[in-house]
Chain A
Amino acid sequence: MAEDELKLLGMWASPFVIRVRMMLEEKGLSYEYIEQDLFNKSELLLKHNPIHKKVPVLIHGDRDICESLVILQYIDEKWSGTGPPVLPVDPYDRAIARFWALYIDDKLLPSFIGFMKAATEEAKAEKIADTQTALELLEGAFQKCSAGKDFFGGDSTGYLDVTLGSHLAWIKTTEIMSGAKLLDETKVPLLVDWAKRFITLDCAKKTLPSVDRVEKYARELQVTRWKVATAN
């Protein structure tokens, strides 16, 4: 493979993969996308991510970069002169972005996936409440980071936009499956507006799966992997 060729090992439903694809798209970087079957892992995946055996893996020439947030920062630093910046320039703003990205993956994601995995109505309600709380905090984060502009990254999408944006299909699927409002314009109006803007962008249109497809997949996982539902 040529020194500067890019390949991405991914899976269509994974927000971790989707955010990397979004950023590559924003930066105008071309790459070969190779879909992986995570229940039947390929030699390629095991070779390029032997430690975690997970996607995404960015293969750049003969180098492997794993972990989605690590990949985003690599893209930022390697292609700093190309396209919009991934992380803000100011070190304090970078620290804020890094903190909220960790929060999104450590607190928000487990809440709505927790809903999908919940066996009882009580557990489901608790996870929905957790998701709503996390989104309310992210509303505050958006207010601070955007400083009145359209995106977390300001004038253009960045690290936080793709980190949260990559979860939008799953968040909307959770709304449908729970009947609860998560992106509620009365509670998180700034995020609702941001989400409406974000999904019209090319990077989102090209990478976010449809809610129908995610719902079908989630229901399959509920039966086969998470064992909280039976097949119809």
Chain B
Amino acid sequence: MGETLKLFGWKVSPYSHRAEVALRLKGVKYEFIHEDLANKSDMLIRYNPILKKIPVLLHGDTPIVESQVIVEYIDEVFDGHPILPKDPYKRAEARFWARFIDEKVRPQVWMSCWTDGETQKSFIAQVKESLAILQGRLEGKKFFGGDSIGLIDIMACSLALWFGVMQEVVGLNLLNEDDYPELCQWGEEYRNAEAVKECLPERELIVGFFAPRKDRIFAKKAPVYD
């Protein structure tokens, strides 16, 4: 397919990173269009009128939205590095863990950072349980995908960088080498992988987003972009 690829994204977002790393793993050329989420462009709203969110992958004229949907689309359309395995059962397993990460781990991690008191304690306990389960899934492998990055690794990307930064900003230390040595080791392998390095944001960029907005994010329990 000779059609152009454009990715509407935001470097601070792990969801945006997921789409970028999938494109880089496949070695396909794309144009990254940076979106200011406080001031969404007409193009973003045109291509994602329902949710008005990034990332949006524009392949020729056709938009694809939702990070996991984009990653699976990229895997199906482009040859090269396989993101999902071939076997239907292994694919089901990968998708199961992808949902576990997005429906359990990410909300728990987020709320553990942005709540306090008994509520925070409850979320912290949930995070600890989820991280232990996820770490168990590694089973001594370099990546969740085995020797190379797969869907689960991409979906878990925020545990390789973003959670570490957020917890530093709010004064937590849940994801640490003593408690989760294998998961931290995985994080390092992930960050150092060729395709990832090319599109991972600098820590300072993420700190620069969260630190000045700490109080407002705490109040809203959701990101604040302006």
A interface residues with partner B (beta carbon < 8 Å):
51, 60, 63, 65-67, 69-71, 73-74, 77-78, 91-92, 94-95, 98-99, 102-103, 137
Give 15 CB contacts A-B under 8 Å: A60-B89, A65-B89, A65-B96, A66-B96, A69-B95, A70-B92, A73-B95, A74-B88, A74-B89, A74-B92, A92-B59, A94-B76, A95-B72, A103-B50, A137-B50
> Count of A-B contacts with CB under 8 A?
56
Residue count of chain B within 8 Å CB distance of chain A? 22
Question: What are the residues of chain B within 8 A of A103 when measuring CB–CB?
Answer: 50
B92 shortest CB reach to chain A, Å: 4
In contact, B66 and A70 (Cβ under 8 angstroms): no
Whether B39 sits at the interface, judged by CB under 8 Å, is no
**Nearest chain A CB to B47 CB, angstrom units:** 12
**A73-B91 CB under 8 A given contacts A51-B133, A66-B96, A91-B77:** yes
Q: How far is the CA of A71 from the CA of B93 in the complex (A)?
A: 10
Q: Which residue of A lies closest to B51 (CB)?
A: A103
Closest CB-CB distance, B93 to chain A, in whole Å? 8
Give the CA-CA distance A232 to B43 in the complex, in Å.
55
In the bound complex, CA of A71 to CA of B69 (Å): 16
Partner of A70, one of B76, B96, B133: B96
Residues of B within 8 Å of A102, CB to CB, are 66, 69
**Is B100 part of the contact surface with A, judged by Cβ < 8 Å?**
yes
Q: B73 and A73: CB pair below 8 A?
A: no
Per-residue interface assignment for chain B, residues 55 to 81, with 1 indicating a CB less than 8 Å from any chain A CB and 0 otherwise: 000010010111011101100110000
Give, as a whole number of angstroms, the nearest-CB distance from A71 to chain B.
7
Chain A facing B: main interface SS = helix
Beyond A73-B95, A94-B72, A99-B65, 20 additional pairs, beta carbon < 8 A: A65-B92, A65-B96, A66-B96, A67-B95, A67-B96, A67-B99, A70-B96, A70-B99, A74-B92, A78-B89, A91-B73, A91-B77, A92-B62, A95-B69, A95-B72, A98-B72, A99-B64, A99-B66, A102-B66, A102-B69
What residues of chain A lie closer than 8 Å to B70, measured between beta carbons? 95
Partner of B92, one of A71, A94, A98, A137: A71
- Name the residue on B nearest A50 (C-beta): B133
* Binary flags per residue of B96-111, CB closer than 8 Å to A gives 1, else 0: 1001100000000000
**A95 to B59 alpha-carbon distance, docked (Å):** 12
Which single member of A60, A70, A99, A137 contacts B95 (CB below 8 Å)?
A: A70
- B69 CB contacts on chain A under 8 angstroms: 95, 98-99, 102
A102 and B89 alpha carbons, distance in the complex (Å): 21
Which residue of A67, A69, A78, A92 is within 8 Å of B64 (Cβ)? A92
Residues of B within 8 A of A78 (CB): 88-89
Rounded to whole angstroms, the CA-CA distance of A99 and B69 in the bound complex is 7
Determine whether the beta carbon of A77 is less than 8 Å from that of B73: no
Within the complex, the shortest CB–CB distance from B219 to chain A, in Å, comes to 22
Q: Are A94 and B73 in contact (CB under 8 A)?
A: yes
CA distance A137 to B88 in the complex (A): 32
Best-surrounded residue of A69, A91, A102 (most CB of chain B within 10 A): A91
Residue numbers in A under 8 Å from B88 (CB-CB) = 74, 77-78
Chain A neighbourhood of B65, CB < 8 A: 99
Say whether B92 contacts A73, CB under 8 Å. Answer: yes
Q: How far apart sit A102 and B64, CA to CA, in the bound complex (Å)?
A: 13
Query: How far, in angstroms, from A57 to B65 measured CA to CA in the complex?
Result: 28
A74 touches B91 (CB 8 A): yes
Known: A67-B99, A102-B69, A103-B50. A95 touches B92 (CB 8 A): no
Task: Report chain A residues within 8 Å CB of B62.
Answer: 92
A residues near B72, Cβ cutoff 8 Å: 94-95, 98
- Chain B residues with CB below 8 A from A73, complex form: 91-92, 95
B100, chain A: closest CB distance, angstroms: 7
Bound together, the chains give a CA A26 to CA B83 distance in angstroms of 30
Within 8 A of A (CB), among B139-160: none
Are A92 and B73 in contact, CB atoms less than 8 angstroms apart? yes
Interface centre among B50, B68, B73, B92 (most CB of A within 10 A): B92
What A residues does B92 contact at CB under 8 A?
65, 70-71, 73-74
Chain A, Cβ-Cβ closest to B89: A63
CB-based contact A51/B100 at 8 Å: yes
Q: Considering residues B66, B88, B95, B100, which has the most beta carbons from chain A within 10 angstroms of its beta carbon?
A: B88
